């Protein structure tokens, strides 16, 4: 059994690894915060990515990695926790998100499955090299207000070449759904998966 990913809505994701470790990424929306955390990550400092107060239970040794920990002195950091390796990659490149203050992450789980989370971004120069990483999943933001829109995200998906691509962060917090079915359906990518808030995906 692979890691289980819960899409909580907007840019918020919870993953339970096959070792039973619990990872939260960009906590803000949805349910599923009841499990005690082992690792919490935030891609940048905007309020809709930083509500770690929702995570009231944390296991001993729980690690919090903020964008400022992941990008230090202009260098993108890497972390190895055993149950997951985390590679920091660039994000931003638009008027709302400065590349020096935003990151994305690539998770590599102990079974070798690789998942990219774009964070808030437009097209980045490094995406052109992502095909070499042979990613299994890519989560791409596509709200079209603060970040790239669906058309640009669809182009990025083809450039990245992951086996499966999932649109997320697709509405700019206009309501409390954290989801836009119109954007999800118009997103065009090979191996597209549409996840609604509250749905789980086994990463394999």
CA angle, residues 18, 161, 87, in degrees to nearest 5: 50
Tokens representing 181 are 């079915």
Q: Residue 30's pLDDT band (boundaries 50, 70, 90)?
A: very high
Alpha-carbon span 82 to 20, nearest angstrom: 12
Task: Say if 44 falls within a structural domain.
Answer: yes
CATH at residue 105: 3.60.15.10
pLDDT digits (tens, 9 = 90+) for 147-186: 999 999 999 999 999 999 999 999 877 667 889 999 999 9
Task: Say if 140 falls within a structural domain.
Answer: yes
- For 152-190, the DSSP string reads HHHHHHHHH--SEEEEES-S-SSSSS---HHHHHH---T
Task: Say if 200 falls within a structural domain.
Answer: no
Q: What is the mean pLDDT of the chain?
A: 96
Q: Looking at the predicted structure, is the pLDDT value of residue 144 above 90?
A: yes
Task: Say if 54 falls within a structural domain.
Answer: yes
Q: What are phi and psi of 42, to 5 degrees?
A: -135, 130
pLDDT digits (tens, 9 = 90+) for 67-87: 999 999 999 999 999 999 999
Q: Looking at residue 122, what is its pLDDT?
A: 98
Alpha-carbon span 5 to 16, nearest angstrom: 7
Alpha helices in 27-169 (DSSP H): 67-70, 150-160
pLDDT digits (tens, 9 = 90+) for 80-121: 999 999 999 999 999 999 999 999 999 999 999 999 999 999
Q: Looking at residue 29, what is its pLDDT?
A: 94
0.95 surpassed by pTM: yes
**Range(s) of the domain holding residue 135:** 3-193
Alpha-carbon span 55 to 13, nearest angstrom: 12
Task: Say if 204 falls within a structural domain.
Answer: no
Task: Say if 72 falls within a structural domain.
Answer: yes
Q: Residue 1's pLDDT band (boundaries 50, 70, 90)?
A: confident
Task: Say if 103 falls within a structural domain.
Answer: yes
Q: Looking at residue 177, what is its pLDDT?
A: 81
What is the total count of domains within the chain?
1
Task: Say if 199 falls within a structural domain.
Answer: no
Are residues 179 and 170 in contact, defined by beta-carbon separation less than 8 angstroms?
Answer: yes
Q: Looking at residue 178, what is its pLDDT?
A: 84
């Amino acid at each position: 059994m692979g890691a289980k990913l819960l899409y909580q809505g907007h840019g918020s994701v919870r993953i339970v690894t096959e070792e039973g470790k619990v990872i939260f990424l960009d906590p803000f929306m949805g349910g599923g915060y009841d499990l005690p955390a082992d690792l919490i990550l935030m891609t940048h400092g905007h309020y809709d990515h930083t509500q770690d107060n929702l995570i009231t239970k944390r296991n001993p040794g729980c690690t919090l990695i903020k964008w400022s920990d992941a990008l230090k002195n202009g260098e993108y950091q890497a972390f190895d926790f055993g149950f997951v390796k985390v590679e920091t990659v660039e994000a931003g490149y638009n008027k709302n998100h400065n590349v020096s203050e935003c990151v994305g992450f690539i998770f590599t789980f102990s079974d070798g499955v690789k998942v990219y989370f774009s964070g808030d971004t437009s097209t980045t120069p490094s995406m052109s090299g992502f095909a070499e990483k042979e990613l299994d999943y890519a989560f791409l933001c596509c709200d079209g207000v603060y970040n790239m829109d669906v058309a640009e995200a669809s182009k990025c998906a083809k450039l990245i070449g992951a086996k499966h691509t999932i649109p997320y962060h697709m509405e700019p917090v206009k309501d409390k759904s954290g989801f836009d079915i119109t954007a999800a359906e118009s997103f065009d990518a090979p191996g597209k998966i549409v996840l609604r808030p509250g749905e789980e995906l086994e990463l394999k």
